[in-house]
Structures are given as structure tokens and as C-alpha cells.
Amino acid sequence: MAIRNCWHLFHTFFDANQNGTIDKKDFDMALEKTAKNRSLSAGDAKHKEVQESLSYVWEHLKKVADRDNDGTVSTEEWLKMWDEAISAKQNPPWVDRYQSFLFEAEDVTGDGKVDEQEYTTAYTSYGVAADECKNAFKKLTNGGPDTISKDVFEKRFQEFVTSNDPNAAGNYLFGKASF
């Protein structure tokens, strides 16, 4: 389950240009998409913050996962990195920054919480159907609160990349659980 989720993360969110590898261009595309979704202009402080976060994630991801030093991360390199991280029970060093980036990208209002509308807006921009997003959000919150805090988001991310439980709420973190 966890490796399948990591495969989905690679193909849906990291390999933005769908060429089968992750490279700097994918992070440039992520910056463009985030800027558009958040109405950020190139000169904005928030735009610069997002750009710095994505640059940090790319450079550190490349250090850990680009085994053949070709400037790209293949699916095999990505899955090997996650397999090792799961076995060691330790995230790669870029993950904390990536989690913060994701949470802040979804938390459009900046109130420290992601509500169903923010969540749905974020993942429909990646092609997930709105109904799937709404269903996933209910699973993420276990039918409880109507928002997700950063702590809960980080817990769900860990479940997404490490859990083999098909019922784990984290399986729904990226808009749906079936891919």
C-alpha cells in the first residue's frame, strides 16, 4: 500500500510534465501552478517563499534519490528512496519542507487550517474530481472536525507514505485512495 501511494505521489504530483522522471522543470511547473492557484505574482514575498521551498525540496530530493547523478529522479530511484526511508523509519530530509509547502499551498486563507473547500480546490487542480475530494476530506477528518490542522496533515502524510493499512485515513491525503 505504502509503495503504491509513493508511486501515485511521483506520477501525480512530482512528475508534473509526465515525462517519467522528476527534474527541475517539474518544480518550475509546480511553482507556476501554486502561484496561479494562490494568485501570487513573481515579485511577491509569498511567491519568493514558495520558490525557495520548492528549490530546497528539489535540491535535497536530488541529493538523496538521484543515484546515477543524471539530474533526474526516475520512478525506480524514487521508489528505492521511499523503500529505504520506510525501512529505516526516517523520512528523507526534504520531506518536512515539502509537507509545509503542501499545507501552506492548500491553506489559502492562511488561518492554519485546511477546510473542505480549500482541499477540494487544491486537488481538483490536479485532475481529481470534486466529489472524490469531498469524500476523501471526510475520510481524512474521520468524519469529525471540518478542518485539518498542520499536525493532522503531517500525520496523514506519514500514513500515506508508510502505512500498509488500506483503511488508514492518510490514504486519502491526495484527493482519493484508488489509483
Tens of pLDDT, residues 66-91: 999 999 999 999 999 999 998 898 88
Separation between Cα atoms, residue 123 and residue 125, nearest integer Å? 5
Q: Give 116: exposed, middle or buried? Use CB within 10 Å, 0-12, 13-18, 19+.
A: middle
- Cα separation, 154 vs 30, whole angstroms: 20
- Flag whether pLDDT at 121 surpasses 80: yes
Q: What is the pTM of this model?
A: 0.87
Q: What is the pLDDT of residues 48-72, one digit of tens each?
A: 999 999 999 999 999 999 999 999 9
Q: Per-domain residue ranges for the chain?
A: 2-172
What is the per-residue pLDDT across 17-54, written as a single tens digit (0 to 9) for each? 999 999 999 999 999 999 998 899 999 999 999 999 99
Domain 2-172 fold = Recoverin; domain 1 (1.10.238)
Whether residue 179 has pLDDT greater than 70: no
Q: What pLDDT was estimated at residue 63?
A: 96
CB-CB neighbours of 138 under 10 Å: 15
The residues with which 114 forms a beta bridge, in sequence order, are: 148
**Are 61 and 6 in contact, with CB atoms under 8 Å apart?**
no
Q: pLDDT at position 178, please?
A: 67
- Residue 21 one-letter amino acid: T
